[in-house]
Amino acid sequence: MQDGLKLAAWLGLQRVAVETDCLQFVQLWRKKESQRSVIDPILKEIDEICLAFQEFSISFVSRSCNKVAHNIY
């Protein structure tokens, strides 16, 4: 996700919506003010990258609704 957001910023995208099947990541992202997680540095870097966007959202999508992405990979 971090690399994808860097690419989106480099491409100059202004509105970015991220969907992930990692519920734990989404929960950590939403509670980032009080993080003591090992991924806290990554969350902070993603937060800095997101400053380049006018709009940014992240949401959980179950794996069963995400079959196309898994087939592409």
Range of the domain at 44: 2-72
Please name the residue that has the structure tokens 């902070």. 44
Structure confidence by residue, pLDDT tens digits, 2-50: 999 999 999 999 999 999 988 988 888 887 665 667 888 888 899 999 9
Give the C-alpha distances (Å, rounded to integers) separating 67 from 1, 35, 46, 61, 64: 18, 31, 25, 10, 6
Question: If you search the block for the tokens 């990692």, which residue do you land on?
Answer: 22
Residue scoring higher pLDDT (60 or 72):
60
The number of domains in the chain is 1
CA distances from 47 to 1, 21, 23, 62, 73 (A): 12, 19, 18, 23, 26
The structure's pTM equals 0.75
